[in-house]
Amino acid sequence: MGLIKMRPVPVFLIWILLLVTQETCGISKVRGADPQKLHLYENKEGFFHCLNSSQKVPYSSLNDDFCDCDDGTDEPGTAACDGSTFYCENIGYVPVNILSSQVNDGICDCCDGSDEWLGYVDCPNRCVQNGKERIEQMLAEVKIIKQGLKKREELKSLSSLRFSELVNKTKLLQVSIHEAEVLERKAKKELHWLEHVLRVIEARDIVANASVGNLSSHSSGDVVTTNEESSNDLGRTHSLQNEDDELNVNSEKTSDEVYKSTMRSDFVLETCQNISKVYTSSHMLLRLQKLFFDFLSKFPVLSNFFKGSQRKIDTEVLKLCISNLKEHLETLRSELEKNRTELERVQQYFSSDYGPENVFLALRDICLEVDSQGYHYKLCLLSHVTQDSINLGKFSQWDSNYTKMIFSDGTPCWNGPARSTVVNLLCGVNETILKVSEPSKCQYHFWMTTCAVCSVHEMKKLRDEANIILSNLNLTKGQKSNMAHKHDEL
Ligand code: MAN
């Protein structure tokens, strides 16, 4: 800031100054007017036509330190009109429009000092110096962008690798869940059958033991008739008989020969062992089916077995088989549960937006931590933010150009809304938090660097700015070649 000299300027002097400005420079220069709009400041038969309306005012009103046009355009060079602008030429640096209220306010706003034309303050021209400093700054920025762009390529490859991994994992999980579901259905059904068979055997044991007559003496024993003659288990046996019908038991079809070869204990045991093997390998569904159907297709001989008193089936083995099957079913279910949870977790990744070319995918779940203003902040990218143990929001959306991550729905503020956070992303080589603030209660702002937002466009903007500065710099030959060299670096 320059030094304020409180020197009263007589009004008549200001008028002379203004007149001189207008008369010597004419239309080629109107103080504070943007040169691109200079033609609009033409004297049209003694009038100035306000720029943004049809209003016209006497030409002498231009820059007379009194606001005549409603749109304020008659005072580009004074602070008389609110909201109008003053053009700083800033030769050697970048031209800029400042608010007219900044004109002659005792602060040097234009680097060429032109805004303080009443001389209340001494404003040495710093434009060339500013230009040089800005070029140096741009060089540093371009260096970071270049490194960032390189890192961004790596991040992109990492993201696309992660994307394919997620797709593959999803497919594998879906297949194995489907297989396990089929297997579970089969196992449940088969378990039900085995339990049914066991119940039938046990019930008939009871009937056989309680029966007055000798079952073996019945050539083609009618179990129901026998039961009717028998015990208090009568009702139960009736119902089991019905279940037996459901199994399509056809004793006529099964010969003793077949029974003997299949219903031995070792056959049942072997079958159970095979079942165990099958259930531990989810890829053997077909084998399992075959085994079970082979096995179960033999059950009809049970009727024969009871009628012929050739009971050899070992109910203990059947029980063991059932308990094995239950155990396998349990394992299958917990595996299924685990895979379903994992699939849900993996699928959550697909519900987020990872920006152009999915570049942000590799950053997801990366957590950055920082201590600021007495709090410990933790930012997990595209996931959630915390302040100590307080939730500052979970990731909800991006801004339109993927430079702000918006987190919402955090812990409610006392007597206020839910906490929320905006994370501003700036180009940088690494992921680092630069600053955290709470501009309004329970609304947090983070600034962080990441290569994900480095862009060629940003570099082009810097180059364009450098071109303007270089073309504005009033340089010697030597300075020019030095600057040209720097420009090449940009
Ligand atoms: C806590 C912090 C602060 C917040 C107040 C609001 O102290 O989360 O950031 O401003 O609560 O009561």
| Residue type for position 285 | L
Give the pLDDT of residue 169: 97
Q: How far is the CA of 55 from the centre of ligand 1 (A)?
A: 53
Is the CB of residue 67 less than 8 Å from the CB of residue 60? Answer: no
Q: How far is the CA of 419 from the centre of ligand 1 (A)?
A: 9
**What strands, in cross-sheet order, belong to the sheet with 404-408?**
367-372, 375-380, 384-387, 390-398, 404-408, 420-427, 443-450, 432-440
CA distances from 249 to 259, 263, 304, 319, 433 (A): 13, 15, 10, 21, 75
pLDDT tens digits, 261-296: 344 444 455 555 555 554 444 334 445 545 555 565
Which of the listed residues 420, 438, 444, 446 should we mutate to test ligand 1's pocket, taking the one with most ligand atoms within 8 A of CB?
A: 438
Closest ligand 1 atom number to CA of residue 387: 8
Ligand 1 residue neighbourhood (C-beta within 6 Å): 387, 390, 413-414, 438, 441-442
pLDDT tens digits, 134-144: 888 998 999 99
Q: Which of 174-183, 413-422, 469-478 is least confident?
A: 469-478
Residues ≥6 apart with Cβ < 8 Å to 489: 139, 142
Task: List b or e across 199-214, with b for residues whose CB sees 16 or more CB atoms inside 10 angstroms.
Answer: ebbebbebbbebbeee
Which of the listed residues 388, 442, 445 should we mutate to test ligand 1's pocket, taking the one with most ligand atoms within 8 A of CB?
A: 442
Torsion angle in degrees (nearest 10) through CA of 440, 443, 449, 450: -160
Give 464's pLDDT tier (boundaries 50, 70, 90). Answer: confident
pLDDT at 483 over 70: no
pLDDT at 298 over 70: no
Give the pLDDT of residue 43: 93
Which residues make beta-bridge pairs with 336?
A: none
Closest ligand 1 atom number to CA of residue 419: 8
Q: How far is the CA of 442 from the centre of ligand 1 (A)?
A: 6
* Region 453-481 average pLDDT: 78
* Phi, psi for residue 174 in degrees, rounded to 5: -60, -45
pLDDT tens digits, 25-77: 446 689 999 999 999 999 999 999 999 999 999 999 999 999 999 999 999 99
Give the pLDDT of residue 400: 93
Look up the pTM and report it.
0.62
Interior angle at CA 430, CA 428 and CA 432, nearest 5:
90
pLDDT at 304 over 80: no
Give the pLDDT of residue 478: 57
Residue 324 or residue 484, greater confidence: 324
Q: What percentage of the chain's residues is helix, strand, coil (to nearest 5)?
A: 55, 15, 30
Give the pLDDT of residue 204: 66
Interior angle at CA 174, CA 168 and CA 179, nearest 5:
130
Residue 481 or residue 118, greater confidence: 118
Give 227's pLDDT tier (boundaries 50, 70, 90). Answer: very low
Give the pLDDT of residue 290: 53
Distance CA 325, CA 331 (A): 10
Give the pLDDT of residue 272: 59
Q: Compute CA 192 distance to the chain's CA centroid, rounded to the nearest angstrom.
A: 46
